[in-house]
Amino acid sequence: MANKHRKSFGGISLIVLIGIVLALGALWLAGKPCVEQDTDIYIPTGSSYVSVVEILDEAGVERLGIIDFVGKLKKLDRNPKAGHYLLPKGASPMDVVNMLRSGAQKPVRLTFNNTRTLQDLAGRIAEQIEADSLTLLAHLSAPETAKKYNLSQEEVIGLFIPNTYEVWWNISPEALTDRMAKEWKRFWNEERTKKLSRTKLSKMEVITLASIVYEETKNVGEMPKIAGVYINRLRLGMPLQACPTAKYAVGDFTIKRVLHKHTQVKSPYNTYLNKGLTPGPICTPSIAAIDAVLNYSDHSYLYFCAKEDFSGTHYFSKTLSEHNRYAARYTKALKKSGIK
């Protein structure tokens, strides 16, 4: 009888020993490289542990069995954390699990510029973070969002100063606009704020005028001069008569030649029919355009017209008769080029 117990105990001991050996082997393998090259992975919010392992598999990460063993050992399976992770070349299963368990994300670089509408902006941002464009647009268009930042609905797009920002890939729409509001305050430093008095415009009005200047020209050298024309018109009570605002009113940004029918479209954004600035920015203007408004050229010009050589530069005029002569040259060049 004692012999049987000794055999039974010996069998259990052998099983335990095998288990210990296997566990030690797994832990040894857990320290060996499983990532052949720097690898980006994206774990969506709400992902299950099984989904995380599948994502690692699709990314070409090796030793998934060991990762699974270590992951369960360290309770990663109970709370996988969403986000963008950069798995460095040579990372081991232990490294991978520790990274995912701690939520050691790598920020993504968020860039947007030259967007004309909230739909455009939401689409551009959605290409770079987890939130989809419809979710972003719904948030940006919500009355509560505008109210939170003391903006009108038309001004919300002006909260986004074009630049490159580092954000978490899984940042929420609410956290994103909070971040942009902080960046807005940072952008309006003491130096820029001091220049507001010269323009006699508010911060958002500067952004709005800059958006018109930016749509008029991408020539940074001419931006302050064009801004000066619009400042002069605003102070005289003249309509801005900016072609980009007519395009915005029509809703067709492919228009190459603004015609009389376009300037007669009824819209608060059409500065041919309405005096003053548009209700909000007509695009996200570059920082150069914003600074051009703050540093507008002090001159007496009231008109400008694109040059007939299509160089992107302009003629500037103080009188309507002089402007009309330049406009005739440009119109002739358009016809000659077949632009209707």
CATH number of the domain to which 90 belongs: 3.30.1490.480
Same structural domain, 239 and 290 = yes
- Whether 324 is covered by a domain: the verdict is no
- Whether 58 is covered by a domain: the verdict is yes
Q: Where are the beta strands (DSSP E) in 35-121?
A: 39-43, 83-87, 108-111
- Whether 313 is covered by a domain: the verdict is no
Residue range(s) defining the domain that contains residue 154:
108-187
Same structural domain, 197 and 291 = yes
Helices 223-236 and 203-216: angle between axes, nearest 10 degrees: 120
pLDDT digits (tens, 9 = 90+) for 96-148: 999 999 999 999 999 998 899 999 999 999 999 999 999 999 999 999 999 99
Rounded CA separation 16/173 (Å) = 52
- Tell me the backbone φ, ψ of residue 195, rounded to 5 degrees: -75, -10
Is residue 106 a contact partner of residue 81, using CB atoms and an 8 Å limit? no
Same structural domain, 283 and 205 = yes
Identity of the amino acid at 230: Y
Residues 6+ apart with CB under 8 A from 237: 275
Q: Where are the alpha helices (DSSP H) in 82-189?
A: 93-102, 118-126, 133-141, 143-148, 173-187
- Which of 118, 153, 187 is where one domain is finished? 187
Dihedral sign, Cα of residue 334, residue 336, residue 339, residue 340: positive
- Whether 9 is covered by a domain: the verdict is no
Same structural domain, 200 and 155 = no
Same structural domain, 244 and 285 = yes
Same structural domain, 92 and 122 = no
Residues 6+ apart with CB under 8 A from 240: 212, 230, 233, 234, 271, 275, 276, 277
Residue 52 tokens, joined:
């995380």
pLDDT of residue 326: 93
Same structural domain, 182 and 217 = no
Dihedral sign, Cα of residue 66, residue 69, residue 70, residue 72: positive
pTM for the full predicted model = 0.87
Rounded CA separation 334/340 (Å) = 7
pLDDT of residue 9: 47
Rounded CA separation 340/256 (Å) = 7
Rounded CA separation 315/105 (Å) = 52
pLDDT digits (tens, 9 = 90+) for 58-79: 999 988 888 888 888 888 988 8
| Residue recorded with tokens 């050691």 | 104
Same structural domain, 160 and 142 = yes
Q: In which element (H, E) is residue 260 found?
A: helix 260-263
Identity of the amino acid at 258: V
Identity of the amino acid at 120: D
- Whether 245 is covered by a domain: the verdict is yes
pLDDT in tens, the chain (340 residues): 545 445 454 445 545 444 444 444 444 455 578 899 999 999 999 999 999 999 999 999 988 888 888 888 888 988 889 999 999 999 988 899 999 999 999 999 999 988 999 999 999 999 999 999 999 999 999 999 999 999 999 999 999 999 999 999 999 999 999 999 999 999 999 999 999 999 999 999 999 999 999 999 999 999 999 999 999 999 999 999 999 999 999 999 888 888 899 999 999 999 999 999 999 999 999 999 999 999 999 999 999 999 999 888 999 999 999 999 999 998 888 888 887 6
Rounded CA separation 234/257 (Å) = 24
Same structural domain, 194 and 295 = yes
- Which of 187, 206, 238 is where one domain is finished? 187
pLDDT digits (tens, 9 = 90+) for 316-330: 999 999 999 999 998
- Whether 72 is covered by a domain: the verdict is yes
- Whether 230 is covered by a domain: the verdict is yes
- Which of 81, 106, 131 is where one domain is finished? 106
Rounded CA separation 225/304 (Å) = 9
Identity of the amino acid at 229: V
Question: Total structural domains in the chain?
Answer: 3
How many angstroms separate the first and last alpha carbons of the chain?
106
- Whether 134 is covered by a domain: the verdict is yes
Same structural domain, 150 and 49 = no
